[in-house]
Amino acid sequence: MDICVASGAKGGTGKTTFSFILGHILNYLYKDNIILINLSKIPYNIKTDLYISTDINEGGSLRVLDFPAFQMSDRYLLSLYLSCKNMVFVVDEDPYTAEIAEAFLRLLNNKNIAIIINMIIGKPSIKYLIKYRKISNIYLVPYDENIRIYRTEGLDPIRVRSPGVAKMIRAAVDIARRLNSS
């Protein structure tokens, strides 16, 4: 089974952070051969226990596909995106991201979708809550500076002690359980 993590055409929303956390949660819950597929081909430079590959043909019973930000004109990534049956869309509270998300999520008819609204400062905007709740289950993750700097230190995000990571872990557990029941 593949679980795709994407955000459309905007980078910096927290896709890779959530991909790592989801990979760890799946590994913990299912003790299975979890593979994190880095579709951007740019090395993560993070010390982790997860098996990471850049080869989309790499087999495994559970794969987490970490999409880079991409345009709909990128035929290869778009075809992979459209073949995903289980999608986690990571967004932030920004009008550009919301517009992109609507366009990308409209393409995914009748698929398991979860939306992570990441980097919320203060209270979440009701405008974005309403917009995304119409599409799918949403999970809210507060802005957390500790999450923003883990990559510069080469840390696995699951090892960062912060409220943002705790919320992402809760979302990953819920998503993994929902996928297991479907």
Q: What are the φ and ψ backbone dihedral angles of 40, each rounded to 5 degrees?
A: -80, -20
d(CA 66, CA 11): 12
The domain that holds 34 is classified in CATH as 3.40.50.300
pTM of the model: 0.93
In this predicted structure, the answer to whether residue 82 has a pLDDT above a threshold of 70 is: yes
d(CA 48, CA 139): 25
Cβ atoms 168, 144 nearer than 8 A: no
Cα separation, 30 vs 176, in Å, equals 9
Whether residue 151 has pLDDT greater than 80: no
Question: What one-character DSSP code corresponds to residue 42?
Answer: S
DSSP type of residue 85: S
Give the pLDDT band (50/70/90) at residue 110. Answer: low
Give CA separation, 44 vs 53, 67, 156, in Å. 11, 13, 10
Determine the pLDDT at residue 16.
93
Number of domains the chain contains: 1
Say whether pLDDT at 86 is over 80.
yes
More confident position, 129 or 102: 129
* Residue 102: both structure tokens together: 């609507």
* CA distance linking residue 40 with residue 74, whole number of Å: 12
Range of the domain at 145: 2-180
Which pLDDT score, from 0 to 100, does residue 125 have? 92
Other CB atoms within 10 A of residue 131 CB:
18
Q: What proportion of the chain, given as a percentage, has pLDDT over 90?
A: 57
**Does residue 36 or residue 113 have the better pLDDT?**
36
Neighbours of 180 (CB within 10 A): 11
pLDDT of residue 88: 96
